Amino acid sequence: MYLGIDLGTSEVKVVLLDGQGNLAAVAGEALSVSRPQPGWSEQDPQAWWDATCTAIARLRDKAGAAFAEVRAIGLSGQMHGAVLLDADDRVLRPAILWNDLRSVAECEALTRAAPSLHQVAGNLAMPGFTAPKLLWVARHEPAVFAATRCVLLPKDYLRLRLTGDKVGDTSDASGTLWLDVAARDWSDTLLAACGLDRSHMPRLVEGPQAAGSLLPALAAEWGLSPDVIVAGGAGDGAASAIGIGAVAPGDGFLSLGTSGVMFVVDDHFRPNPDSALHTFCHALPGRWNQMSVMLAAASCLRWFCRLTSVDEASLLQEIAALDSQALAGAPLFLPYLSGERTPHNDPFAPGVFWGLTQAHDRAALGYAVLEGVSFGMVDGLDALRAAGSQVSKLSLVGGGARSPYWAQLLADALGLDIVTHVGSESGGALGAARLGWLADGGELASVCTRPPVKAVYQPDTTRHAALLPRLQRFRDIYRHRPPALTLTGQQP
């Protein structure tokens, strides 16, 4: 058995994978996000650990005696978060998350201080990345910065609690802006630009390498052997790729989770920061990937459901009942509830409903949300193609993969085949378990297979043509919006 732990923003998900690659059990525990000021996003690392232990207890109850047969554990997690530890490995402040916007000024400062940033890190400086967060802490919380002895990414804090070791992996480290992504090693130059050095960083391994073993006391508490391997693991995007079998150049997937990711595998380091694409190490040695990233995707649907007091399943039924005339007359929605990365790199981009009238009902607005996220994905696909990625079909993973209606809308908007797979909603947790299996000696060809196909959604050419003018208006709204406001209501 192999255990996968995925530390998401809204949930810790855990899965148990048997030696034939089948999911034996799944469990999870919800997480909440603290927003102490507009644009801030934080979580308490202790809450991650508590949720992990709760989810593991539920998984053990479901799996029964099979849980004791776990041989290795893989980790996946939300990227970019900054966990600051003192000399005694105590957490100094709440973790600043990937969707936190406070470090806009520090991005500009980092770009000036490190002229080689784009070439070495392969990415633009954006507030979501880890390095600008540390510059913000140095400026606004100097005592915390002075006490910081190690910076860990979220999943690697879980590893510390599992093994007692401070270890990271190259895919997750790619999202810090401290990694030489081509060399797959820390960059002394980029670290120095933030007042840090290698002593502040965890040891790096590749995703399928063994990175430690369970602490004996924890192993006894969970009913596992202390010889259980903990693999390097991966950031959530790379782990989802492993889970879906995207391991060869040209393989790709589309993830509809809290954020939205379009991910394509490459065998070379091909940065293209001008399009606000991310170029990271893949979870496998000798592989890289290009990603377009939306900061809000399925989270837009959750937001709208909370706003209108409806559950997602009921809303999707209402949307599916709309006729073509209602769809054509629906308002347009810009899904920039947390700013945007690809292709705009605009932390102040606002969410917008455009074209509202008294004739519009909840279903029409709900459709606009699904369509707006889909149009954001079209922008991401265009950026990937401009960077040289060849994309002909994409697997759909994440919570949004549960909706056949949304899958078909994505196929129609993108003009691509969209494929869903059995278990694809497990995403990063499944990939994490597979990385644990590889660390235990599993063969890539047999471990990282494509899960069975659940459905294939082919684009409807008539519907694609009908969406094009709405896509153009969607883009025009962003281009002609009024000047952006900062988080304090002032123009930047």
CA-nearest of 439, 461, 481 to 233 is: 439
Rg (CA), the chain: 22
The answer to whether 319 touches 330, Cβ cutoff 8 Å, is no
Longest CA–CA span in the chain (Å) reads 64
The predicted structure's pLDDT at residue 488: 45
Q: Give the integer Cα–Cα distance in Å for 252 and 237.
A: 11
pTM: 0.85
The predicted structure's pLDDT at residue 401: 80
Q: Give the integer Cα–Cα distance in Å for 418 and 416.
A: 6
For 383-404, how does the pLDDT look when each residue is reduced to its tens digit (9 = 90+)? 888 877 778 889 998 777 889 9
Q: Give the integer Cα–Cα distance in Å for 429 and 435.
A: 10
3-class SS at 151?
Answer: strand
- How much is the average pLDDT of 101-109? 94
Which residue type sits at 370? L
The predicted structure's pLDDT at residue 197: 97
Q: Which residues pair with 455 in a beta bridge?
A: 420
The predicted structure's pLDDT at residue 157: 98
Work out the percent of the chain whose per-residue pLDDT is above 70.
98
Cβ contacts of 85 within 8 Å, gap of 6 or more: 91, 92, 148, 149, 150, 151, 152, 166
Q: Which amino acids are annotated catalytic?
A: 236
Q: Residue 487: is its pLDDT beyond 60? A: no
Task: Report domain extents, the chain.
Answer: 2-246
Q: Give the integer Cα–Cα distance in Å for 303 and 57.
A: 30
Q: Which residues are annotated as a binding site for substrate?
A: 79-80
Q: Residue 483: is its pLDDT beyond 80? A: no
For 459-470, how does the pLDDT look when each residue is reduced to its tens digit (9 = 90+)? 999 999 999 999
Positive/negative CA dihedral, 227, 231, 232, 237? negative
Pairing of strands 393-397, 252-256: parallel
CA-nearest of 283, 51, 265, 42 to 175 is: 283
Count how many residues are written for the chain.
492
Q: Which residues are annotated as a binding site?
A: 79-80
Q: Give the integer Cα–Cα distance in Å for 59 and 356.
A: 46
* CATH number 3.30.420.40 is the correct assignment for the domain at 2-246: yes
